Amino acid sequence: MEQAKEVRLTPIRNGTVIDHITCGQALNVMKLLGVNENTVCSSISIGMHVSSKELGGWKDIIKIEDRELGENTADKIALIAPDATISIIRDYSVAVKYKVKLEDKVYGLARCSNPNCITNKGEPVIPEFSVVSKYPMQLRCCYCDRILIDIPGHLM
Ligand SMILES: Nc1ncnc2c1ncn2[C@@H]1O[C@H](COP(=O)(O)OP(=O)(O)OP(=O)(O)O)[C@@H](O)[C@H]1O
Ligand SMILES: [Mg+2]
Ligand SMILES: [Zn+2]
């Protein structure tokens, strides 16, 4: 039944596939993409709790028609789905493919969850975090030393 793989989501002509999303994070990725019925003209398919040979368990997957994701978006996806793979589809084939990458320092991608942090006081400081752990994802603010609570809710 090899050819039956991935038939659960329709092929797209042009767009982006975000594969190997940490199971349960598809809707958070949708939120960070800012896609909803007011901002999108083409189709989006979301697969949740899909079995994954590569990850040896479960994953989520998103296919977006007629949009090619940029690097800044991919960097933010890494904060909630560090194993995600981005494939840019052109004329039904994979034209560009890369894994999202998580640097040791996260710069200008998320706001601090501590309201008293200097980065939340209207000062011209760009928030910066160190990655403390990847599974589970833990980010520590370089300004106030607090662990960022609710990463999906604080993406910029
Ligand atoms: N035309 C298309 N429409 C929709 N999705 C596509 C299309 N072509 C490829 N994909 C999807 O894009 C992703 C990358 O494609 P690829 O052929 O490299 O898959 P793969 O061999 O399973 O790769 P991986 O090892 O990363 O899982 C897969 O999730 C695949 O299902
Ligand atoms: Mg695959
Ligand atoms: Zn802080």
Percentage above 70 pLDDT, the chain: 95
Q: Which of 1, 2, 9, 3 lies closest to 87 in space, CA to CA?
A: 9
pTM over 0.85: yes
User: 88 CA distance to ligand 2 centroid (A)?
Assistant: 14
Q: Any residues with Cβ below 6 Å from ligand 1, and which?
A: 6, 11-12, 17, 19, 54, 63, 85, 87, 89, 92, 94, 97
User: 135 CA distance to ligand 3 centroid (A)?
Assistant: 21
Tens-place pLDDT, residues 92-150? 999 999 999 999 999 999 999 999 999 999 999 999 999 999 999 999 999 999 999 99
Tens-place pLDDT, residues 5-47? 555 688 999 999 999 999 999 999 999 998 877 887 889 999 9
Architecture of domain 105-154: Roll (2.30)
Domains of the chain, by residue range, sit at 2-99, 105-154
Please report the pLDDT score of residue 1 as a whole number.
44
Q: What fold characterizes domain 2-99? A: Alpha-Beta Plaits (3.30.70)
Q: Which of 117, 116, 98, 110 lies closest to 138 in space, CA to CA?
A: 110
